[in-house]
Amino acid sequence: MLDSLISLIAPHRCYACLKVGTALCESCIYNIVNDSISCCFFCSVPTLNGVCPGCAPRSPFSHFYLVGERHHELKTLLDDYKFNRAYALHRALAELLHTRLPRLPEDTVVVPLPTVARHKRIRGYDHIGLIAKTLASKRGLANQAVLGRRTNSVQLGANSQQRRRQADQAYCCNGKLDPAVPYLLVDDIVTTGATMRAAARCLKAAGAKIILIGAIARQA
């Protein structure tokens, strides 16, 4: 209700083309997604599924889908959403991910990567949780917070070794998972990939066999 009122008083402009009416217009969404990265998460070899056959044996997930690099309008969108309390941008970010992802099985469960508690308090909302919930609604899929946090370490400014160590200690799974059900793990920004690997390993340890990754941007 509040978002609708604000949009009437101060309507959004498209972050890419400046057209009035929405944070990302339909044309710009497709332009961004058409430039999406289709390469292996681990070795950058071109591949449609995001995990090449050579890296698949050591990967805790089978597919990795990324919208793009964190620059230009993607960077501005994410920075405003995360750091400037632009709550309404979760819809545009979820739409990008929705457009990027292929058709998924109807029993797929969308899993948000847990946000540090202090960040939720500062922003007033769970930024990844909102994207995951909106994406699940668009796809008609279940949205379940099956992952929790054991620590609240902040990775901003940490080097790759520190990120890996923090990520390995960060997550826990809330119960046993169904090995027949695909789980789509959602995050906003991927940097070294340590977080995604650790979270996927946690899902796998809880029983998940089919783990997919959906992320909006990669930090170059």
> DSSP letter at 39?
B
CA 63 to each of CA 27, 47, 72, 83: distance values in angstroms, whole numbers, following the listed order: 26, 10, 26, 29
**Model pLDDT, residue 185:** 98
Mean pLDDT value across residues 100-105:
96
Report pLDDT for 165.
62
What confidence tens digit (pLDDT) does each residue in 45-70 have? Answer: 999 899 999 999 999 999 999 999 99
The three-state secondary structure class of 118 is helix
Task: Assign 122 a pLDDT band (cuts: 50, 70, 90).
Answer: confident
CA 159 – CA 190 distance, rounded (Å): 14
The residue type found at 84 is N
Under the banding of pLDDT at 50, 70 and 90, the label for residue 163 is low
Three-state DSSP state, 56: helix
H or E, element range at 172: strand 171-173
Among 36, 41, 38, which Cα is nearest to 55's?
41
Averaged over 156-173, what is the pLDDT?
A: 65
Domain 37-218: CATH class, spelled out: alpha beta
DSSP E strand boundaries for 34-136? 63-69, 109-112
Mean pLDDT score across all residues of the chain: 88
